[in-house]
Copies of this chain bind each other. A is one copy, B any other.
Amino acid sequence: MPSYKAPVDDVLFVLNDVIGIDRYNNIPSFAEATPDLVKAVLEEGARLCEEVLQPLNRVGDTKGCTRADDGSVTTPAGFKDAFAQFSEGGWIGLSADPEYGGQGLPHTLSAALNEFVSSANMAFGMYPGLTQGAIAALTLHGTDEQKALYLPKLISGEWLGTMNLTEPHCGTDLGLLKTKAVPNGDGSYAITGTKIFISAGEHDLSGNIIHLVLARIEGAPEGTKGISLFVVPKFLPDADGNPGERNPLGCGALEEKMGIHGNSTCVMNYDGATGWLVGEADKGLRAMFTMMNEARLGVGIQGLSQSEVAYQNAVTYARERLQGRALSGPADPDKPADPIIVHPDIRRMLMNIKAFNEAARALVLWTAIRGDIAHRGTDEAERQAADDLMGLMTPVIKGVLTDTGFENAVAAQQVYGGHGYIAEWGMEQFVRDARIAMIYEGANGIQALDLVGRKLPAKGGRAVMAFFGEVEGFLKANAEDEAMAPYAKPLKTGLETLQQATMWFMNNAMTKPDNAGAGSTDYMHLFGLVALGYMWAQMAKVAQAKLADGADNKAFYETKLATGRYFMDRVMPEARAHLARIETGSDSMMALSADAF
């Protein structure tokens, strides 16, 4: 059976030593997040994840959710109790507005906790995760009345939320959606249509389920400009705000899927269900997109989370499994064979994952803090700059962390040999669960297009120039530091490669948009390499300073330096291959007619 230990120390290293969150004390939520509180929150969250959520991961997978003929859905045994503990602990509203019962702590802390939750039990984590999305939507776009009605109950976990976008004929291209909303004359609308792939669409965890639904008001324009967002509760709140009459909506079927079996993925049917507009009519997509950065960051975290838990178990197995002898001579001659962690190819897989996980965690927190600054910062210019970087990094995190997170889960499974393919060892579940993160909340090809087609050119390239400037500033500041050269030089090469790719798009994609599309996925991964490499360079700088200061935890910092070195040696060289592919353009990619495939 797999196990999990939340990487609290690594989060604290990033928050305290690399990012230095004490620098953000001027932001309200950070002022309360003292080092002691942050540590206590992380440790308490870690305990819940390790002791309550992780032991339910396998039963969630093997038993899954079941739907009764009346459309009700039962979650796997133990989920309901675990959810009660989760909501009672105040974890859903960790960074929600205290006015509605939230804890008002930084979103950065939620991001750290979300990694723990997803590592422990990704399918479980989606229930509160989607509720966090609903809370964000209502906080940003709801009326005061809607906020007062829904937010306290969503934040407490008494009710849970969902997001309803996809329909059978449209996922990426929401302009095609058909679900309609007809005004009832009393300010409410009658919502009719079918939504698919609705995570947590129906379940037994909460007394009500609050659906946020995209639909088209009768007579609205076609395409994306006629889509509105509605709040559609399973039970209509009565005058006291308690669940009242049942709304005509429900789960028509549960999807049989590859993984995340513990989460109910529903076909949702709306048969004239009563809903209320959230935000402006016909501006529903815009309302969705303002939440998208946060949701996509959350999915990127899922990629990291499966990579981390799969890694931890692969390390344990590699230390215990005896098979073969070290190439350099027996490491443990008294035993019948050496532990497989002595073999370079096993190291290769473990080091690849470790070097990714620690940089990815830093990148998530580095980006999340920009989300906090963008929302709560006191200086307008600082808020704007933070929002730029958050927007730029979101598709990178979503695309790269889920692609690589999945690859890493596969590699960790490989460490187990044949046992990795057997269900009871739990490794194949991580692979199956991790797979969805590459698809939902915008498939990774869409993330790449978002990066190249929207985020790069936005505001004259202001965001990307700011990022390049920041990395260049770091490199310049460390140009004379010889100990930093093994980190700074490969980062500099990577940055120059990325800049060359960016220039290539500027020169070749304006006139021929297919050149942008053809290079977009490579560009996203190249961007990821540089962003992760920048995290490693910063972590190496801190580790060197700590060692120079005679820090107690010497082994921790030495391991950081060795792992960062591995990243530069073995991961960064991929940058050039990405550039070579980008620079071939779209000609050979688009040469064939659709019939020729």
Contact = CB atoms under 8 A, between A and B. Distances in A.
Nearest to A596: B559
Given A323-B172, A337-B173, A345-B517, A566 B594 contact: no
12 contacts: A196-B418, A258-B428, A345-B448, A348-B518, A348-B521, A414-B444, A417-B439, A417-B443, A420-B439, A562-B596, A569-B581, A570-B584
Given A337-B173, A577-B577, A521 B345 contact: yes
Nearest to A321: B169
A586 B414 contact: no
Given A257-B421, A258-B423, A344 B576 contact: no
Contact of A347 (B406, B581, B590): B590
A424 interface: yes
B584 A569 contact: yes
A450 to B, nearest CB: 11
Contacts of A225: none
A495 interface: no
A433 to B, nearest CB: 11
Contacts of A417: 171-172, 439, 443
A346 interface: yes
Interface in A576-597: 576-577, 580-581, 584, 586, 588-592, 594, 596-597
Interface string A407-433: 000100110011011111000100110
Interface of A: 166, 169-173, 175-176, 196-197, 255-259, 315, 318-319, 322-324, 327-328, 336-337, 339, 341-351, 354, 406, 410, 413-414, 417-418, 420-424, 428, 431-432, 435-436, 438-440, 443-445, 448-449, 512-514, 516-518, 520-521, 555, 558-559, 562-563, 565-566, 569-570, 573-574, 576-577, 580-581, 584, 586, 588-592, 594, 596-597
B517 A256 contact: no
B580 A566 contact: no
Contacts of A172: 323-324, 417
Contacts of A517: 327, 343-345
Instruction: List 6 A-B pairs, minimum CB-CB distance, nearest first.
Output: A344-B517, A573-B580, A327-B513, A345-B445, A258-B428, A256-B423
Given A176-B337, A343-B517, A521-B345, A414 B559 contact: no
Nearest to A413: B435
A571 to B, nearest CB: 9
A569 B582 CA distance: 10
A592 B562 contact: yes
Contacts of A574: 577
A13 to B, nearest CB: 15
A415 to B, nearest CB: 9
Contacts of A421: 257-259, 435-436, 439
Contacts of A346: 445
